[in-house]
Amino acid sequence: MLGNDIRYSSEVTDQFVKHAIDYVGAGVVITDPSLPDNPIIYTNKGFEELTGYPSEEILGQNCRFLQGEDTRKEDVAAVRDAIRDEKTVVVELKNYRKNGEMFWNELEIYPIFLESEQKAFFVGVQKDVTQRKRNEELVSHYLEEVTRLSTPIVPITDTTSILPLIGDVDDRRLNQILERVGEHVQKSGERNFLLDLQGISRFHSGVHNGVLRLHQLLDMMGTRLIVTGFHPKMAMESVRQADFSDQNITFYSSVKQALTFLEKEENR
């Protein structure tokens, strides 16, 4: 049975802790803010493998040597503020290995106060999250492609484009439509923009309000909104919402009718 008076060797304990830190699967550094420029006083093998810098090259230096041109100043400021206030912080930084290769560094910094030293140290735990960030960028790219394909703006003439809506329109998709149409018209300077509703699954208040918002946006940009595929059932529903008759919006039951009108208008 173990007694309460057992004493552990601090030398053995320190050796064990250092040995254990080398196997945590992450880079670990300890800095001393009481010394000029808050230098590194300890690194583990994980940090050496992550960055390519051997401990003897970086002990006594500040960790900023990992930064580069693409490291966001806002993230660096967040780290600096946390150290100043002795608070925990988690940031993702673009850092650089000794060979110049960029990697995304998920950095967690913890202030540790040691009673025996009567001062605080900072422990930084660093993980390479480059693959996760690349996956996130791929997902973002795919979502942008899906958005682009779900809002296919098709130029018809030098002065007119059409957006055929297919499926349902929720608030998220509506905001995407407004953003894409606004960017397109700003670049093209077109006089007319056709919104074809023939392919939507149902006409509801969200679609109704979306047409009004799109009209207001285009009107401010000097572009006329023409709505096609607008059948009597939609007209009845729009009356229950808010009558379109007060708005300067032109409606046609088909794209063909709208194009015939525009062609005649051009030939006048």
Give the tens place of pLDDT for each residue, 21-69: 766 678 999 999 999 999 999 999 999 999 999 999 999 999 999 999 9
CA distance readout (Å), 205 to 65, 172, 179, 224: 56, 14, 20, 22
pLDDT band at 98, cuts 50/70/90? Answer: very high
Q: Do domains 10-130 and 145-267 have the same CATH topology?
A: no
Hey, what CATH topology would domain 10-130 get?
Answer: Beta-Lactamase (3.30.450)
**Residue 137: predicted pLDDT:** 82
Give the tens place of pLDDT for each residue, 186-240: 999 999 999 998 887 777 777 888 888 899 999 999 999 999 987 766 656 655 5
Compute the distance between CA of residue 193 and CA of residue 153 in angstroms, rounded to an integer.
10
**Domain-by-domain residue ranges, the chain?**
10-130, 145-267
- Mean pLDDT along residues 162-177: 81
CATH of the domain spanning 145-267: 3.30.750.24
Compute the distance between CA of residue 263 and CA of residue 118 in angstroms, rounded to an integer.
84
Place of tokens 């050496």: 48
Give the tens place of pLDDT for each residue, 43-52: 999 999 999 9
